[in-house]
Chain A
Amino acid sequence: DAKTTQPTSMDCAEGRAANLPCNHSTISGNEYVYWYRQIHSQGPQYIIHGLKNNETNEMASLIITEDRKSSTLILPHATLRDTAVYYCIVRVAWGRDDKIIFGKGTRLHILP
């Protein structure tokens, strides 16, 4: 089973920041938080990942709480092309268990 809890769906106005929450209250010290998204009929696309520090790249920012039990993915200026299902995933940082366990994710609708 997925180790994360996400809202089923969210709306965001185009041009505004989209803030997608994720709860991972049972996360272990050796587990990363990963975010992927899946645009309709395409394969999942890697967005960002982090261990305990906040991370930023050209696509998004990842804010992880100090206790690491939750995180927020921020898309700073959402566009219509950001409409997708967003998956929050926890993964062990090392070891042989290399598979990704996906939940159902959050369906983000960007409204014009």
Chain B
Amino acid sequence: QVQLQESGPGLVEPSETLSLTCTVSGGSISTYYWSWIRQPPGKGLEWIGYIHYSGSTNHNPSLTSRLIISLDTSRNQFSLKLSSVTAADTAVYFCARGSPIPDTWGQGTLVTVSA
């Protein structure tokens, strides 16, 4: 069955860009929608955005000015770039298959924004 794995730096400095990649195994990325969701410590889940295999995207309006989601079909990966980060962007970041109903998730990766 399809599996997803997030990867990227666990520590990002304030004002820098947070970059994460999700590697999809056991299935092709050239179908479905692919999503990013995050969970700040002690808080609930927040939808970040999605990308369709066609390349179309949709972002949470609260993040759209800082956000880029992209797809690399040759590597079966999709990526997240969030610019100008602050401590409020510290969270566990999940990648998932599907939008608006993610039916398969990665385990998540903690990203801390700190100097």
Q: Do A and B come from one complex?
A: no
